């Protein structure tokens, strides 16, 4: 009797497992941040299975920067964070954004004009939101390869630049074409970004008298 019961329970467990596999035949590995015992961030090896957000070409926030090559920057975010952003217009705890740098190539195969991305990566930057670990909620990590990386010191300019100019929660959503309209509609744009992008009053408008201002011109 007991043996028959065990067989029945085991069979039921197998059927449930098969049903779950059919619903999600390729389950994604955990995409939250993982750290070493020394506090270094482990490289998110499956980031290419995450949600693609945008690609920048030769972008630089420093006007004095002069590169001797062209470069693409691809941005990916973990799926859990992306789904939460779609609902709220901002990023949840444990968000991970990966910026992947690749050299731009122009000569290859049948290409005659424009640029395409090299198969070789030039480096990575990971932006992590981990509220219980970082005083500012967010931290940056730079990777030259897949070796665990130390946190970039908070004195680095990337922190102040993101805090002062980012559209949503210290992230540059203004460069994510499918998420900027969503954040705008949900009212989650940062005050600093709204101020930067507010249309400036033209000089002609400034010279025009208001409706309540007295008419100072002589009447003819």
DSSP string, 121-180: EEEEEEEEE-TTT-TTSEEEEEESSSS-BPBPPTTSHHHHHHHHH-SBTTB-GGG-TTTH
pLDDT at 81: 98
User: pTM here?
Assistant: 0.77
Number of neighbouring beta carbons within 10 Å of residue 189 = 19
pLDDT of residue 110: 95
pLDDT of 17 reads 41
What is the distance between the alpha carbons of residues 98 and 100, in angstroms, rounded to a whole number?
6
Say what the pLDDT of residue 158 is.
Answer: 94
User: Which positions ≥6 away from 158 have C-beta within 8 Å?
Assistant: 140, 152
Average pLDDT by consecutive 10-residue portion of the chain (220 residues)?
Answer: 46 43 48 94 97 93 73 97 98 98 94 93 97 96 97 96 97 98 98 92 52 44
pLDDT of residue 169: 98
pLDDT at position 1, please?
52
Nearest to 81 by CA among 125, 36, 121, 127: 127
Question: Which pLDDT belongs to residue 204?
Answer: 56
Per-residue pLDDT, 179:
98
Residue with tokens 């090896």: 45
Domains of the chain, start order? 35-153 (3.50.70.20)
What's the confidence (pLDDT) of residue 146?
A: 95
As given in the structure block, the two tokens for residue 104 are 């731009």
Please give the pLDDT value at position 62.
73
Alpha helix segments (H runs only) across 24-148: 79-88
Distance CA(173)–CA(93), nearest Å, equals 17
Output the pLDDT for position 117.
Answer: 94
């Amino acid at each position: 009797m007991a043996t028959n019961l065990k067989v029945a329970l085991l069979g039921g467990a197998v059927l449930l497992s098969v049903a779950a596999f059919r619903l999600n035949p390729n389950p994604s590995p955990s995409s939250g941040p993982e750290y070493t015992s020394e506090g270094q961030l482990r490289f998110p090896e499956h980031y290419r299975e995450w949600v693609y957000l945008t690609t920048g070409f030769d972008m630089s926030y420093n006007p004095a920067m002069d590169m001797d090559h062209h470069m693409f920057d691809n941005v990916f975010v973990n799926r859990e964070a992306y789904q939460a952003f779609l609902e709220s217009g901002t990023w949840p705890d444990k968000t991970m954004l990966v910026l992947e740098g690749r050299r731009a190539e122009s000569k290859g195969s049948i290409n005659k004009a424009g640029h395409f991305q090299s198969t070789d990566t030039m480096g990575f930057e990971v932006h992590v939101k981990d509220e219980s670990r970082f005083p500012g909620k967010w931290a940056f990590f730079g990777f030259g390869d897949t070796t665990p990386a130390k946190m970039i010191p908070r004195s680095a300019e990337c922190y102040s630049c993101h805090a002062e100019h980012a559209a949503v929660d210290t992230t540059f959503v203004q460069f994510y074409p499918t998420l900027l309209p969503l954040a705008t509609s949900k009212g989650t744009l940062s005050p600093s970004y709204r101020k930067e992008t507010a249309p400036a009053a033209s000089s002609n408008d400034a010279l025009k008298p208001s409706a309540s201002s007295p008419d100072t011109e002589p009447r003819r």
